[in-house]
C-alpha cells in the first residue's frame, strides 16, 4: 500500500513526520510521500528540510519516503494547488517492487 499525498504537523496534519511514518509502517504501507504546502515565500526553506527528514526517517523505519511539496502559485488562491514531486524522487519510486 502507498500514499502519495500526506501532510505533517508542518501543514494541516496532526503528526510530526516520524510519527506519521511510524503509523503508516504499522498499517502496512510500503511507500509514503510527505507533501506539506509551500509557496514562493518558503519553498527554499521547506524542500531541503523535507528531503532531510525523509532520508533520516526512511532509514529508521525501513520504508520508502518521497519528499514532495504542494506548491501554491503566488497569483492564485490557496484552494488551487499543484503537486510537485522532485524528479529524482519519482525515479526512485518507479523502482519499487
Taking the C-alpha atoms of residue 84 and residue 62, their distance in angstroms, rounded to an integer, is: 24
CATH number of the domain to which 27 belongs: 3.20.20.140
**In the numeric block, which cell numbers belong to residue 22?**
511510524
Query: Could you tell me if 2 and 30 are in contact, meaning their C-beta atoms sit under 8 angstroms apart?
Result: yes
User: For residue range 13-33, what is the model confidence (pLDDT) as tens digits?
Assistant: 788 888 989 999 999 999 999
User: For residue range 70-97, what is the model confidence (pLDDT) as tens digits?
Assistant: 887 776 555 434 444 444 344 444 444 4
pLDDT at 90: 41
pLDDT above 90 for 65: yes
Residue 20: which domain range? Answer: 2-93
Taking the C-alpha atoms of residue 66 and residue 51, their distance in angstroms, rounded to an integer, is: 8
User: For residue range 52-64, what is the model confidence (pLDDT) as tens digits?
Assistant: 999 999 999 999 9
pLDDT above 80 for 7: yes
- Residue 80 DSSP one-character state: S
How many domains is the chain built from? Answer: 1
pLDDT at 77: 54
Amino acid at each position: 500500500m502507498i500514499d502519495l499525498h500526506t501532510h505533517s504537523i508542518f501543514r494541516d496534519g496532526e503528526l510530526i513526520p516520524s510519527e506519521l511514518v511510524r503509523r503508516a509502517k504499522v498499517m502496512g504501507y510500503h511507500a509514503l510521500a510527505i507533501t506539506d504546502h509551500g509557496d514562493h515565500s518558503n519553498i527554499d526553506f521547506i524542500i531541503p528540510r523535507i528531503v532531510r527528514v525523509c532520508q533520516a526517517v526512511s532509514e529508521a523505519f525501513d520504508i520508502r519516503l518521497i519528499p514532495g511539496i504542494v506548491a501554491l502559485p503566488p497569483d492564485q488562491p490557496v484552494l488551487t494547488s499543484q503537486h510537485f514531486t522532485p524528479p529524482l524522487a519519482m525515479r526512485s519510486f518507479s523502482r519499487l517492487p
